Amino acid sequence: VQLQASGGGLVQAGGSLRLSCTASGSTVRSSNMAWFRQASGKEREFVAAIRSNGGYTYYADSVKGRFTISRDNAKNTVYLLMNSLNPEDTAVYYCAADTPPLTVLSGLRNSAGYDYWGQGTQVTVSS
């Protein structure tokens, strides 16, 4: 399974970006998919996840109401739409796949629940 993340860049505070994660070797529909991020000098943290079964979505409190995770089964791609960005959102963003989807609900926010990772895409928000 390979995950290719893209869409990062430099944006001003208050702006928006949409990240994409295209999977090969598996389908996003049959996987739990997630986005994590890691700021410089900090640990990797959970951002959002979408479950394979039912497409239920989950968010970190820090991004709830601003970020939206979604998937396009036909394109085998997961998206992260990020609105109202602020400098604290600056980080490398990673997509991850739990396939087959074995991680229980309580583990979806934990990076250990994911088997495959993309290469990361840098998001920089200027003030």
DSSP bridge pairs for 34: 49, 96
pLDDT at position 53, please? Answer: 86
- pLDDT mean for each 10 residues of the chain (127 residues): 96 98 93 97 97 93 98 96 98 96 88 95 97
Q: What is the pLDDT of residue 106?
A: 81
Cα 23-116-78 angle, rounded to 5 deg: 35
77 half-sphere exposure, CB direction, 13 A CA radius = 15
Which among 46, 43, 90, 102 is positioned nearest to 69, based on CA atoms? Answer: 46
Q: Which residues contact 82 (CB under 8 A, 6 or more apart)?
A: 16, 17, 18, 19, 63, 66, 67, 89, 123
